[in-house]
Amino acid sequence: MTLLAERDPVAAARPPLSVDAARAPRPLPAPLLRIAGVSLEYRTPERVVRAAHRIDLDVHEADRFVLLGPSGCGKSTLLKAVAGFIPPVEGTITLDGAPVRGPGPDRIVVFQEFDQLPPWKTVIENVAFPLRAARGLGRREARERARATIEKVGLSAFADSYPHQLSGGMKQRVAIARALAMQPRVLLMDEPFAALDALTRRRMQEELLALWDEARLTLLFVTHSIEEALVVGNRVALLSPHPGRVRGEYNCHDFDLSSIGSRAFQAAVQRLHGRLFEPAEAPR
């Protein structure tokens, strides 16, 4: 278990492009996304609930950073705070050194729900629309980039279909294509594959890793599946529930889809499983 020990914001060297470089014992570069002492609360008609308490996390360039935890650990709330939908009650979230103030196209979110695609736009319009609305590209340029990205996720044949004509997995591919085309600084994924069947989910994980390998995106990925966390991520932050606190950060850059079933993978699963299901300590 490697806990995040050294943190040196002054060492603003070029961030490593591959995870292997991060293993070398050299001072860490400045993180791309810094979550510092962030507490989040939400309000019900009767009370105010603390969803996350003083979270500290650093996400570096090209990380596939996974937030793992049971329901109620505030991982989705934390992701929405990074996206700018929920302001933290304390602490700061900074992206490239600038504080996050609201939703913006430099942090595109892929949601779990299938209704994230406006149903009145075809696949290609769905991908091209934010390019025009937020990036200010021209009609033709936006369509070209949209077409190229749609080809990357293998949906060229469905470019002119409407979302209601697609299967769940295809809709998520469109959402991913839309996010990729925007080239955000961080791609935020809120349990993007949770509503898919197991076979489709496996294929989508494979494709996501291939896309990451090609573009070296920075991912912040929320899941409640230990296996998915280990396969998709290179680093996993485990959150404890009620309220969400960071239980630990673990490396898993050695695992991919082919390592499922291997002894080391099973051991890692067991280790995370043990920490997820450990008996709650008595409140101090």
Residues lying near other proteins in the complex (CB under 8 A): 80, 83, 85, 102-105, 107-109, 111, 113, 115-120, 129-130, 133-134, 162-165
Residue 71 CB, shortest distance to other proteins, in Å, is: 18
For 194-224, b/e burial (b = at least 16 CB within 10 A) is: ebbeeebbbebbebbeebbeeeebbbbbbbb
If the CB atoms of residues 120 and 277 are measured against other proteins, the closer one turns out to be 120
- State in angstroms the smallest separation of the CB of 104 from other proteins: 6
Closest distance of CB 67 from other proteins, Å: 18
Query: Cβ of residue 162: shortest distance to other proteins, in angstroms?
Result: 6
Those residues with Cβ within 8 angstroms of residue 182's Cβ, 6 or more apart along the chain or in another chain: 105, 108, 130, 131, 134, 135
CB of 151 to other proteins, least distance (A): 22
Could you give the count of Cα atoms lying within 13 Å of 116 in the half-sphere of its Cβ? 23
Beta bridge partners of 90: 39
- The residue among 16 and 169 lying less far from other proteins, judged by its C-beta, is 169
Residue 113 vs 278, nearer CB to other proteins: 113
Nearer to other proteins, 158 or 265 (CB): 158
Cβ proximity to other proteins: between 108 and 196 the closer is 108
Both tokens assigned to 200? 């489709």
